[in-house]
Chains A and B, each alone.
Chain A
Amino acid sequence: MEPLSPQPSRLAPPPVVRLGGVAKTYRSGQIDVPALKGISLEIASHSFSVVIGASGSGKTTLLNVIGGIDSPTRGSIEVCGQNIGELDDNALSDFRARNIGFIFQTFSLVPVLSAYENVEYPLLLVGAAASERRERTRAMLDAVGLAAQARQRPNELSGGQRQRVAIARALVKGPQIVLADEPTANLDSATGASIIELMHRVQAQSRTTFIFATHDPQLMSHADRTFTIRDGELVDHRSGGKQ
């Protein structure tokens, strides 16, 4: 199955994600529920890509298999040049620790750690030196405007601040890809807009590939590339975010 995305030009950056006929079927009791039906696509490096679709269309599942936290029933997934289907659980964990950042709809910060410690956590996983951890964590908290809240625990922060911490946590290790599942869904529109603006700015600075699953029109409007999924199938892809 050919990928839906066009062949990259000589000048275009190489794809950071390449899916070939990826299918995922869940089993609910005696019934097989297909979530993805043979999706093939490529996502270029340094892009700000959006996956859209109705609830239950398979957006989250697509992000999960790209992120290596769910395995496809069939098909191949190449991320950052690595066929992640070949990796065992430990290798896959290490791969995620090095290359992928996650931003969740519910922020999912570790509640017993301060904002600073939450941001520092991924650097500990990749074995960064103490001085480097300190420097990068502070810089990232500065970048998301939370230097003053560094010592506060998640329950002492607002929803927007928590999502900023989550963004800082996802980016602090300099991953190749950030996967964000409905990152603005739990925020009011003003806060959501500021978060989108922040992510866009950070993406432009870090040249990290952002892949979002979203319903948020504001977020879609910032996309370099939009993928539309319906009932587990990729039905459209286009450059830019205007639908």
Chain B
Amino acid sequence: MTLLWRIAFRNLLRNRRRSLMTGSAVAAGALAMLLFGGFASYIFSGLETSNVQRIGHLTVFRDGYFLVGAGNPAAFGIDRYQDVMDLIARDPIVGPMIRVITPTQSLVGIAGNFSGDVDASKTFMGVGLIPSDRDRMRQWDEFGAGEVHAPDARLSDSDPSRGLVGVGLARVLGLCAPLGLPGCPPVRMAPASTGSAVPAVKQDLADLALRDLGGGTTSERMPQIDLLAATAGGAPNVVRLTVSGSESQGAKELDDNFIAMHLALAQQLVYGRGEHKVTGIVLQLHRSEDLPAARARLAALFSEHKLGLDVREFGELAPFYVQVVKMFSSIFLFIALVMCLIVLFAVVNTMTMNVMERTNEIGTVRAMGVRRSGIRSQFIVEGSMIGAIGASTGALLALAVAALINQAGLTWIPPGNASEVPLRLDVAGRPLLVIGAWVGLALVATVAAYLPARRAARLPVVDALRHV
């Protein structure tokens, strides 16, 4: 230990109470920053995990689909999508990064339940997917922050007629009883029609749907609904969906409109007997950090093969995630700023008092031949030492508190989620956050010590020696 550090450390011990108070302010700052930072990190990880499980890291669309395709998904189908998927999967750069690559078909239409006494219909937003790929995607949990879902038997690769609906849509369509949904009000039936045209149309739709499916292939105990949509060619088309379950969506608008179905059924509805395309190719990567590289490579690949395809990240498809990240980042920045200000004033105050008390000592060592820079360094080292010790204490406390909270088994419902998840503070898993907070506070303490240190260094030697 050099003399500088030895003197600094002993001077901190010499003014124990003052050093303790200042160090405590730094520790409190580190604790607050790290606990909130750990909470925010966990939210980011949780949101990222749920998004990546749902829509992957990247989605490939036809050019223009992202901006204007939602109104007419059928018009933006990707031709020969299996070839495109093979091209991506075989690419030596992006291929190894990919965990799941799967086609998806978005569609909009009208869902109707005309079974028994029920007579309800509702517009829907649907997605066609491959159930086994969906199961694999829902097991992605790079950060250990999400809910790892068991394979969902309600959808099956071998039974394309099955699908899931949002809980809200299930209520609207009068599916509460067959699906066993609690808390549903009775469905208001449409008033009895005086004419005969409407029942006839409903019967036509039901017959058409049955014919397209080639007869009943699913469990008769599951409710069935009819889906009506316009094909790519503009003609109306109808399929019958066996509702094997309901799934709550985070937002009511989505919950009241959502239908997930087998890709084949979605393609049958949108493309009929024409060429089956998809609106998107979803890519889930092994690691999120590969996302920029994968995106860049895909863009280059599509450009090279002149495919007219576009790649979008999950943050663009789910702007809520980006908004939450920005909001929490702003709050974190604000907390960090307040803590830094507190540390700044505490250290300036302490070091100013130290300089005043040790003015004669400063004069003595200057007379002995210590340069101004030596005096400056002495007090800066003391300030940084307070900062380092305080920040270390705060970091250790934060790790301990986070461990306690993580062990406590608390749960909460994050924004955009439909179910409770464990409340965790991700401090230990975020070394950059810990190091960043530590370095930041130690730096603030060092900077705060600079002004008093500079004043000490500029004291005239004889004035300092005369100071009592």
Contact = CB atoms under 8 A, between A and B. Distances in A.
B369 A96 contact: yes
B18 to A, nearest CB: 14
Given A64-B462, A89-B372, A113 B367 contact: no
Given A90-B373, A108-B465, A110-B364, 18 more contacts: A64-B462, A67-B367, A69-B367, A69-B462, A70-B460, A70-B462, A93-B369, A93-B371, A96-B367, A96-B369, A108-B364, A112-B10, A112-B11, A113-B10, A117-B6, A121-B368, A122-B368, A126-B369
A69 B461 contact: yes
A90 B462 CA distance: 16
Given A108-B361, A111-B361, A112-B14, A125 B370 contact: yes
Interface in A100-120: 100, 102, 104, 106, 108-113, 117
Contacts of B365: 110, 121
Interface of B: 3, 6-7, 10-11, 13-14, 360-361, 363-373, 460-462, 465
For the complex of A and B, 4 pairs with smallest distance between CB atoms: A97-B369, A112-B10, A69-B461, A108-B364
Nearest to B13: A112
Contacts of A111: 14, 361
A237 interface: no
B461 A70 contact: yes
A219 to B, nearest CB: 20
13 contacts: A69-B363, A69-B461, A70-B462, A89-B371, A90-B372, A93-B372, A94-B369, A95-B369, A96-B367, A102-B368, A108-B363, A110-B364, A169-B368
A109 B367 CA distance: 12
Contacts of B461: 69-70
Nearest to B461: A69
Interface centre among A96, A106, A110 (most CB of B within 10 A): A110
Given A64-B462, A112-B10, A98 B361 contact: no
Contact of B368 (A70, A97, A106): A97
Interface string A22-34: 0000000000000
B110 to A, nearest CB: 83
Contacts of B361: 108, 110-111
Contact of A104 (B13, B14, B364, B369): B364
B366 A93 contact: yes
B364 A69 contact: no
Contacts of B10: 112-113
Contacts of B368: 96-97, 102, 121-122, 125, 169
Contacts of A93: 366, 369-372
Contact of B465 (A104, A124, A125): A104
Nearest to A122: B368
Contacts of B465: 69, 104, 108
Given A93-B366, A122-B368, A112 B462 contact: no
Interface of A is mostly: helix
Interface of A: 64, 67, 69-70, 89-90, 93-98, 100, 102, 104, 106, 108-113, 117, 121-122, 124-126, 169
A69 B373 CA distance: 16
B466 to A, nearest CB: 9
A89 B372 CA distance: 8
B4 to A, nearest CB: 10
Contacts, number: 71
A94 B372 CA distance: 11
Contacts of B366: 69, 93
A150 to B, nearest CB: 16
Contact of A125 (B364, B369, B373, B460): B369
B3 A102 contact: no
A126 B364 CA distance: 16
B367 A124 contact: no
Contacts of A96: 367-369
Contacts of B460: 70
Contacts of A108: 360-361, 363-364, 465
Contacts of B14: 111-112
Nearest to B463: A70
Contacts of B462: 64, 69-70
Contacts of B360: 106, 108
Nearest to B4: A124
B3 A98 contact: no
Nearest to A101: B368
B245 to A, nearest CB: 73
Contacts of A121: 3, 365, 368
A236 B10 CA distance: 48
A169 B364 CA distance: 12
B468 to A, nearest CB: 9
B5 to A, nearest CB: 12
Contacts of B6: 113, 117
Given A70-B461, A89-B372, A110 B7 contact: yes
Contacts of A109: 364
Contacts of B363: 69, 108
A64 B461 CA distance: 9
A212 to B, nearest CB: 16
A100 B460 CA distance: 18
Contacts of A122: 368-369
A124 B364 contact: no
Contacts of A70: 460-462
A125 B3 CA distance: 10
Nearest to B371: A93
A90 B10 CA distance: 27
Contacts of B3: 117, 121, 124
A113 B14 CA distance: 11
Interface centre among B369, B370, B460 (most CB of A within 10 A): B369
A129 to B, nearest CB: 15
B1 to A, nearest CB: 12
B212 to A, nearest CB: 90
Contacts of A95: 369
B60 to A, nearest CB: 66
Interface centre among B13, B368, B372 (most CB of A within 10 A): B368
B371 A90 contact: yes
Contacts of A98: 369
Interface centre among B363, B367, B373 (most CB of A within 10 A): B367
